[in-house]
Amino acid sequence: MPALLIVAAAAAVAGVSAVLLHRHVPAGVRARFRETGIVVTCLAGALFAITVGLAVVSAWERLDRAGEEVAAEADSAVDIFWYSRTLPAGQRGLMQRHLREYLAVVLYKEWAMMERSRAVSAEGWTLTDRLREGLQSVQPRTRGEVARYGQAMSRMHELLDARRARAARAAGGESPLLWAALAAAATAVIVPAVVFAADRLVVRVAAPAALAATVAAGLLLVHHLATPYAGPVRVSPDPFHLGLARVTEIAQLPPLT
């Protein structure tokens, strides 16, 4: 709903501005520069469309990548939980508790934080430190234990890499240079259309309003895709829901030691 309001507001401002400027800009001036204004609008519109298109494609690829990283993070936690079944009772219980806490913190605390403040929690980092310390304290003896331990450490590194990527994406966004280019192109598109609008009232209002609405919608799309954990287009936390359900099921199985 806020996005629709922003688009509608941009259209209304452009339409009203065209009517007001029509009263204050002499007809001779409008007629003299209208053709130039149309050329500027077309060129700037093409530049704006290309820039927005590239930004949307890039942002959509990052959104897909963020979804893959979330799935990898949750899957890694589940795999480590499964490995913990091979550990002695003390280590097993501690590691399983930390893993359950980690999945719950990400799901019920960090997801809201990423939507609101674009940050992850210190508690999550503390839990990953404890998980890594717990794994490093394991002393595998047999060849099979060494192989399983190596796989578990590999999954731990994957979990950490995915978490770091998630934290970076949550705090990131499009570069200021891109936004400056989009703002300049949008201004060059809308201003001539408003200043040199047609004399007929319906066209004078409708054309700049439609153009401003289109530009605003394009800018909003780039903005929403640039924040993969907030807004209407975002990564789902479903992998962590599934991970938490899965570790609950695994906890009911007998240990492998």
Residue ranges covered by each domain of the chain: 2-251
Of residues 55, 12, 70, the one with CA closest to residue 212: 12
pLDDT score for 108: 94
Judge contact between 100 and 49, C-beta under 8 A. Answer: no
**Six-digit token string for 133:** 């310390």
- Matching residue, tokens 């201004």: 187
| SS3 assignment, position 236 | coil
pLDDT score for 30: 61
pLDDT score for 72: 96
pLDDT score for 221: 82
pLDDT score for 231: 73
pLDDT score for 52: 83
Question: What secondary structure letter does DSSP report for 85?
Answer: G
pLDDT score for 26: 64
Cβ-count burial of 133 within 10 angstroms (0-12 exposed, 13-18 middle, 19+ buried)?
A: exposed
Q: What tens digit of pLDDT does each residue of 115-147 get? A: 887 889 999 999 999 999 999 999 998 998 899
CA 175 vs CA 53, 56, 182, 231, 232: distances in Å: 15, 13, 11, 18, 21
End-to-end CA distance of the chain: 55
pLDDT score for 198: 63
Q: What is the pTM of this model?
A: 0.78
Judge contact between 178 and 185, C-beta under 8 A. Answer: no
pLDDT score for 250: 93
**Which segments in the chain show pLDDT lower than 50?**
none
Q: Report the distance separating Cα 214 and Cα 142, nearest Å.
A: 65
Residues 18-53, buried b or exposed e (16+ Cβ, 10 A)? beebbeeeeeeebeeebeebeebbeebbebbeebbe
pLDDT score for 37: 65
- Matching residue, tokens 């009232």: 201
pLDDT score for 20: 73
